[in-house]
Chain A
Amino acid sequence: MIWDWDYTFEILPVLAQAAIVTIEATAIGFVIALVLGLFLAILRMSGPKTGWCVSVFIECIRSTPLLIQIFFLYFVFPSFGITLDAFVAGVIALGLHYGCYCAEVYRAGLEGVHRGQWEACTALNLSSLTTFKNIILPQAIPPIVPVLGNYLVALFKETPLLSAIAVMEMMQTAKILGSETFRYTEPITLVGIAFLIMSLVSAALIRIVERRLNLRSAK
């Protein structure tokens, strides 16, 4: 028999457990990416020298494979005396990698805000923090939500890379189940379906958020 239903129901709870790890890695990794990306985008605009350093850093991260960054954090950092748990190392690598992509997106968003808005803030004597937080960001974010959303889905689909450092997310779990029973069909297929469903659901959610934001700014 090609598909064994008994086996399927047997491994389903184990995979569900692993799905939670995948979702956690995605959520934490993306939050890191969003915060780090904004931070990098601001640093980049803050002066020619810092800007240059940040640009170089972003370029280095974006031009090397995520897998190398994961290995670097997990296997190389200990030799500098920094030992990270596999999950932590993996999540940081995801956040770091996608943070560099997000930085570019934020930059486009920030540059899209008209210069007159900054000038109005100066004329009203708003502090830099208020200007940024209350005036510029709320205008910079809505247009970039779709792109950030795409990166969320992309990051989610790259979480199987964490299996390379034995994080027990879905892929790693499926692999282990397969090697224990010599049946790969069910675990791998189930994981594929889980990814498909979650990707579609998050894409739909992003579109809803997008529409909400458009409605609000069109008011």
Chain B
Amino acid sequence: MTMAAAEQLAPQQPMVRFENVSKRYGNLVVLDDLNLEVSRGEKVAIIGPSGSGKTTVLRMLMTLERIDGGVIWVDGEPMTHMMQGGQMVPAAQKHLRRVRSKIGMVFQHFNLFPHMTALQNCIEAPITVLKMSRKEAEARATELLGMVGLADKKGHYPAQLSGGQQQRVAIARALAMRPKVMLFDEVTSALDPELVGEVLHVIRQLGAEHDLTMLMVTHQMGFAKEFADRVCFFYQGKIAEQGAPQELFGAPKNDRTKQFLRAVLESG
């Protein structure tokens, strides 16, 4: 398949596809033969008990973890592998970087660069990776910081911002790279309860305004229910149940799902 053909096929292809993906740490099987497709623009919420492999799914997609089996496809082409002489071989760094550029990630603990201001955090990658001019990068970063409600905090260092503000800078920073897919790993878990709302508000806005594909691991069941097109319940490295939020939350079929949702409800 040539590049051009791949591009043409792309619209019909899912944006992200996990094909028989497995992941082990030593003897521990963290993901077991995972198959998951995410369509363009789809918002998928990933829920499940601790240790069920939710974070691992996102980290593999962001290439922060190697996979032990299977193939991950992004935008119609294999990411973890590439074609060489008609065969699929493990991807070289260059291939990985190219495909990875379509994905952005927001972390639980923000991971902002502490020695850079909010603005600098948002222009570093556009300038050095996308080769934007400083002026263009700053204009765009300013716009994005405005979108997340932090236009007046451009010159602040992360340590001078609240957790909620830092996380919103992190979202702006990821968006500055124009990803097609955004990954959110429990992005509100490290925040004080009163700061959760402002971050969810930004994500909600993103979902409405942008044609982004989004995968989010969350413990905010209310948010998942209202925001996601589909919810996947992970249990012991497998998708035990998935479906539209109304179905999965309203009438779960799997006993594990029921158990999990009951436990979450009880804990508030």
Contact = CB atoms under 8 A, between A and B. Distances in A.
A binds B: yes
Nearest to A123: B105
Interface of B: 62-64, 97, 100-101, 103-105, 107, 109, 111-115, 124-125, 128-129, 157, 159-160, 173-174, 177
A11 interface: no
Nearest to B117: A219
Contacts, number: 62
A119 B108 CA distance: 12
Interface of A: 114, 116-117, 119-120, 122-127, 130, 134-135, 138-139, 216-219
A116 B113 CA distance: 10
Nearest to A134: B124
A114 B160 CA distance: 19
A117 B64 CA distance: 12
B160 A219 contact: yes
B111 A116 contact: yes
A125 B105 CA distance: 11
A139 B114 contact: yes
B129 A125 contact: yes
A204 B107 CA distance: 41
A216 B111 CA distance: 19
A134 to B, nearest CB: 6
Contact of A117 (B62, B101, B113, B160): B113
B157 A124 contact: no
Interface centre among A114, A125, A217 (most CB of B within 10 A): A125
11 contacts: A114-B111, A116-B107, A123-B62, A123-B107, A124-B177, A125-B97, A126-B125, A130-B128, A135-B113, A135-B124, A139-B113
